[in-house]
Amino acid sequence: MQTVTSADGTTIAYDRVGAGTAGTVILIGGAFSHREFPSMVALAQALADDYDLTVLNYDRRGRGDSADSPGVYDVANEIADIAALVEAAGGQAALFGWSSGAALALLAAQAVPGVSSVVAFEPPFVVDPKDHVPPKDLADKLHPMIAAGKRNKTVRYYMTKVMGMPWLMVGVMRVTPYWKKLAATSNSTAHDWAVMRPYMRGQQLQAEDWAGVKVPVLVLAGEHTAPLLTKGAKAAVEVLPDAEFAELPGVSHDPKIPILAPAVGEFLTRAR
């Protein structure tokens, strides 16, 4: 494990995987994800082994071994975290983002010098009012839960109210060993919501909000993912200046790394 210090003094932990000559990519997880999440570990190793990339796999603030800024949930801080990682990479790096991490990667590409390209896997933009739209007062309820240390309640609330998961499905997850890992990262969901709040309103994305993404972007969605996520991915391509879309066969929002890694690795090495 290595660390960098973000602009506000927060310590961000990361693993450096590989020492390739094809460039560096920073992996940005989504809600409840962290750098030891099995899919992130497997993706990092595959990109290093098969595509000669150096991979920085980090814990977003508030999860894993990274510190947090309790009560302060500002997207600018998470973008500054990425800027510190790009600096640690030597001043240039590509970004891979998954779910809310994909949206964060696109936002960072507008603000961080040295971002060379972006792969955005299923950014959860809600662009159709007929789909699940989180309540407007979500932060007013989420933040007090986190402040009170109600981790289990926070997981349930975020999964049902933001992610739109059925209560029954969440209830089944509650009795699995995996639930403890979700609860351990639950406080960080306020950071996810800070990223996604403007883009989950059931409204079309606006091109002017994304005009600053000047680098090549690949937006991915799985063949078997929720239609809401596919709509969001295709909507992103329509407003980004230099973007392409690809659908991954046999993949859902929980990706199969042997299918995801080639799409990511081939794009990043081609874009470079």
Of 156, 186, 189, 162, nearest to 78 by C-alpha is 189
CB 230 within 8 A of CB 131: no
Q: Output the six-digit token pair for 240.
A: 């980004």
| Mean pLDDT to the nearest integer, 222-246 | 97
Region 54-76 average pLDDT: 97
pLDDT grade, residue 271 (50/70/90)?
Answer: confident
Q: Quick one: what percent of the chain has pLDDT higher than 90?
A: 95
User: Looking at the predicted structure, is the pLDDT value of residue 195 above 80?
Assistant: yes
Check residue 254 and give its pLDDT.
87
pLDDT at 157: 97
Position 148 confidence tier, pLDDT thresholds 50, 70, 90: very high
Q: What is the pLDDT of residue 203?
A: 97
How far is C-alpha 59 from the geometric centre of its chain's CA atoms? 11
User: Sorting pLDDT into bands at 50, 70 and 90, what band is 255?
Assistant: confident
**What global pTM score does this model have?**
0.96
Q: Is the Cβ–Cβ distance between 191 and 78 less than 8 Å?
A: yes
In angstroms, the CA 149 to CA 207 distance is: 39
Per-residue pLDDT, averaged over 188-197, amounts to: 98
pLDDT over 90 at 180, yes or no: yes
User: Cα–Cα distance between 232 and 163 in angstroms, integer?
Assistant: 13
Mean pLDDT value across the chain: 96
Q: Does the pLDDT at position 234 exceed 90? A: yes
3-state secondary structure 81-128: HHHHHHHHCCCCEEEEEECHHHHHHHHHHHHCCCEEEEEEECCCCCCC
Chain centre distance of CA 230? 16
pLDDT band at 154; cut points 50, 70, 90: very high
Q: Which CATH architecture has domain 2-129+202-271?
A: 3-Layer(aba) Sandwich (3.40)
Over range 167-172, report the average pLDDT: 91
- Output the pLDDT for position 98: 97
Residue 85: per-residue pLDDT: 98
pLDDT for 149: 96
Q: Which amino acid is at 108?
A: A
Please, where in the chain does CATH 3.40.50.1820 lie? Answer: 2-129+202-271
Cβ contacts of residue 264 below 8 Å, gap of 6+? 25, 43, 47, 96, 119, 121, 218, 220
Write out pLDDT tens, residues 198-225: 999 999 999 999 999 999 999 999 999 9
Please return the burial class of 30, using the count of CB atoms within 10 Å of its CB with bins 0-12, 13-18 and 19+. buried
Average pLDDT over residues 216-245: 97
In the predicted model, is pLDDT for residue 95 greater than 90?
Answer: yes
